[in-house]
Amino acid sequence: MRARLALVAVPLLALAACTGSSASTDAAPSADAEPTGTVTVFAAASLTDVFTELGQQLEDQHPGLDVQFNFAGSSALAAQIEQGAPADIFASADEAPMTRVTEAGLAGDPELFASNRLVLAFPLDNPGDIRQPDTAGIPSLAQYLDHDLVLAVCAPEVPCGVAAAEVLERVGLSDAPDTFEDDVRGVLTKVELGEVDAGLVYWTDFQTARDTLGAYTFREAEAARNRYPVAVLDDAPNPRAAQAFVDLLLSDEGQQVLSDAAFFEP
């Protein structure tokens, strides 16, 4: 009887020891406590490559840490967080989805860590015959587009669509698009397939697809930049590791990775 009790007791004690280390907010974290366990990051799809690399870096620095990602449209992620999805960090491709989350009282102070700009992408064989005009300085979008071109943009409900709507309104071409895609991947696919003459995508997306696409920048893109905020969620299961990730993101290292991936400064 006593032996059996011991058999049960040992694993229980070990379990208690383990859970003790990924501490609750009650225990005061010591300054050198090692981030460990699992940290879940909800991030906009355009951050896939960068965040994966940073996550790998963090795991190399802290063995015992496992960084898990959920990449999707920022609005979809915000909805999931509102519904109670278990995440530690939310990184959004625009400020609006983050505002939803902070207004719902689910996150504290977001920090901007990067920004992105739209470019006009087109298939390499250029079916719409989009040409760079002969002007000094960066041309306006109106000099590339007209109503005849088959144009794909994101829907205004998603971040890249907010920016697209803004730039199109500035040049009076709000009714030029032929389709409003539910995420930027949809726009990219249609441009890559050559089914549309052009699409408004992020500069970073163009970088990942530069073998198959051409792209032009335009003046209005600067003013309609998407700013990317990141925040640790209030109910994060692993706040220490979450903070470590955010710190890495905002550090020089992290910023270098971002700019290598063609993101702009926040």
Partner 1 sequence: MSRTREGAGVPLPLLLPAALGTAFLVLPMVGLLVRAPWSDIGPALAAPEVGQALRLSLVCATLATLLSLVLGVPLAWVLARSRIRGRSALRALVTVPLVLPPVVGGVALFTVLGRNGFIGSWLNEAFGITIPFTTTAVVIAETFVAMPFLVISVEGALRAADTRFEDVAATLGAGRWTTFRRITLPLVAPGIAAGAVLCWARALGEFGATITFAGNYPGTTQTMPLAVYLALQDDPEAAIVLSLVLLAVSLATLLLLRDRWLGRSGAPGA
Nearest distance, CB of residue 158 and partner 1, angstroms: 6
| Cβ nearer to partner 1, comparing 92 with 238 | 92
**Phi and psi (nearest 5°) for 107?**
-145, 155
Nearest distance, CB of residue 175 and partner 1, angstroms: 10
Nearest distance, CB of residue 193 and partner 1, angstroms: 5
The whole-angstrom separation of Cα 26 and Cα 87 is 20
| Cβ nearer to partner 1, comparing 163 with 257 | 163
Indicate the helix (H) or strand (E) that contains 54.
helix 48-61
Cβ-contact 231, 89 below 8 angstroms: yes
Nearest distance, CB of residue 209 and partner 1, angstroms: 16
Interface residues with partner 1 (CB under 8 A) are 73, 75-76, 79, 82, 96-97, 100, 127, 150, 152, 155, 157-158, 177-182, 186, 189-190, 193-195
| Cβ nearer to partner 1, comparing 35 with 97 | 97
Nearest distance, CB of residue 98 and partner 1, angstroms: 13
Cβ-contact 47, 228 below 8 angstroms: yes
Between the alpha carbon of residue 204 and those of residues 42, 45, 86, 169, the distances in Å are 19, 11, 28, 23
Q: Which of 214, 218, 202, 201 is nearest to 137 (CA)?
A: 218
The whole-angstrom separation of Cα 164 and Cα 221 is 9
Nearest distance, CB of residue 78 and partner 1, angstroms: 8
| Cβ nearer to partner 1, comparing 75 with 115 | 75
The whole-angstrom separation of Cα 264 and Cα 266 is 6
Nearest distance, CB of residue 187 and partner 1, angstroms: 10
Q: Is 121 helix (H, G, I), strand (E, B) or coil?
A: strand
| Cβ nearer to partner 1, comparing 89 with 162 | 162
Give the list of residues 6+ apart from residue 248 with CB closer than 8 angstroms, or none.
Answer: 54, 57, 58, 254
| Cβ nearer to partner 1, comparing 39 with 187 | 187
| Cβ nearer to partner 1, comparing 180 with 264 | 180
Strand 226-232 relative to strand 179-181: parallel, antiparallel, unpaired?
unpaired
Indicate the helix (H) or strand (E) that contains 116.
strand 111-116
Cβ-contact 188, 199 below 8 angstroms: yes
